[in-house]
């Protein structure tokens, strides 16, 4: 039973790492889109 628990824990830790990377990628995408939006707003305001 302990062996199964260790395997489950390792699987959950691997999934946690994968999900943290996914969240970081999404946060980066949001930041880039915000910067693009801000730059686009500056251009429109300067016309």
- 44 domain residue, yes or no: yes
Per-residue pLDDT tens digits for 14-25: 999 999 999 999
Residue that has been written with the tokens 């801000």 in this structure: 38
Note whether residue 37 is domain-resident: yes
12-23 b/e with 16+ CB inside 10 Å = b? eeeeeeeeeeee
Task: Kindly state whether residue 32 falls inside one of the protein's structural domains.
Answer: yes
Residue 23 C-beta-side C-alpha neighbours within 13 Å: 6
Model confidence pLDDT, tens digit, residues 1-47: 799 999 999 999 999 999 999 999 999 999 999 999 998 866 555 54
- Asked if the structure places residue 10 within a domain, the reply is no
* Backbone φ, ψ for residue 46 (5° rounding): -90, -5
Q: How many domains does the chain have?
A: 1
Helix (H, G, I), strand (E, B) or coil at 41: helix
Structural domain contains residue 43: yes
């Amino acid at each position: 039973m302990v062996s199964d628990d260790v395997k489950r824990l390792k699987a959950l830790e691997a999934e946690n790492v994968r999900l943290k990377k996914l969240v970081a990628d999404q946060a980066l995408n949001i930041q880039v889109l915000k910067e693009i939006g801000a730059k686009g707003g500056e251009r429109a305001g300067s016309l």
